[in-house]
Structure 1
């Protein structure tokens, strides 16, 4: 990353190590060594490993949450807005350099350093629910959660499928599947 700041290099190295080696197996010393800095320099940018992971996780949710807020300001049919959000969110998750979303299920994520991430992820889930409800299904809460889970399934696909389809294909396929989950009706 030739034009990256030290902070960006730390985040990138940590993302790679967390995604490939696991969170518990990655120390701040290893992150610093990977970047080519002293561990004390890493602590200048981040007080601990939890803060590094929290920032990485928030970066997987915040763009889609912002996009959902932008969509709510537009006068789009709910199904159109839902599909737009799904395709955007899938793009964020598959377009990231490292598959950091794979760490969503870590037990550590339930602790305080990750409260903001959990709150923002819940807000995104609620945005999906609201769009699904506006589209009309009687089971809006469940269907909204299904759509949210469908979007996040690309995290596992990145991990498990060696020949992942192109991002555009995934965006289109998952967007279409989300609309099908709405079922027949005004959607």
Structure 2
């Protein structure tokens, strides 16, 4: 998986062959096919691995928050954005950059798209508790784009730690949600009890 992640993000998905992945992993190509049916299967597995932990966290978070007030929803949104950004940034390679590949529209990637849609819905649920202005679907898309894009920008500049990136992205997410600097700082403090250790 690490070999495929490296080759897909460095050389590009289209330019990477299963033979190259097998060679990088120290396997014969035939051995690779014991685990994966092809290149699409490898990419789908990688992409799903970038969404599932955040989706699991979002589910626990929303269940724990229940019907909450704006301040608690803000803390929840901060915690989710920070967790998601840390996860994406903490990987060896920027797999989030592969989300927009045309190939990801194919049937093999339906599971990934469904999971990402569920994660987006979790962001939307929290955002709706904070901000009823404008088009909620557009604002949710922008929020998810901020998290994924913020990680890509932070990777380009280098020299950052995952927690630092997660916190900066979460602060920006709350500002997008209409929170003031003071409200964002309060949400950051309150989110400490919601985040995993």
Range class of TM-score, shorter chain: 0.7 to 0.9
Partner of 1:3: none
Match of residue 157, structure 1, among 122, 140, 153: 153
Partner of 1:16: 6
CA gap of 1:39–1:179, structure 2 versus 1, over 3 A, is same
Is the 1:19–1:98 Cα contact (8 Å) retained in structure 2? yes
CA distance in 2, matches of 1:44, 1:102: 27
Normalising by structure 1, we get a TM-score of: 0.87
Partner of 1:66: 56
Match of residue 144, structure 2, among 129, 142, 148: 148
Please state how far the C-alpha of 1:158 moved relative to its aligned partner. 4.9
The count of aligned residue pairs is 176
Please state how far the C-alpha of 1:159 moved relative to its aligned partner. 5.3
> RCO greater where, 1 or 2, for CA within 8 Å and sep 6 or more?
2
The answer as to 2:24 corresponding to 1:34 is yes
The answer as to 2:74 corresponding to 1:84 is no
Please state how far the C-alpha of 1:184 moved relative to its aligned partner. 5.2
CA distance in 2, matches of 1:47, 1:96: 24
Quote the RMSD (CA, aligned, Å). 1.9
CA gap of 1:57–1:184, structure 2 versus 1, over 3 A, is closer
The answer as to 2:123 corresponding to 1:124 is no
Deviation track 1:91-139 (CA, whole Å, cap 9, x = no partner) reads 0110011111111111101011111111111111111111000124323
Is the 1:16–1:98 Cα contact (8 Å) retained in structure 2? yes
Please state how far the C-alpha of 1:164 moved relative to its aligned partner. 4.6
Is the 1:102–1:155 Cα contact (8 Å) retained in structure 2? no
Q: Which stretches of structure 1, 4 residues or longer, exceed 6 Å deviation after superposition? A: none
Partner of 2:195: none
Is the 1:133–1:141 Cα contact (8 Å) retained in structure 2? no
Normalising by structure 2, we get a TM-score of: 0.83
CA distance in 2, matches of 1:183, 1:159: 26
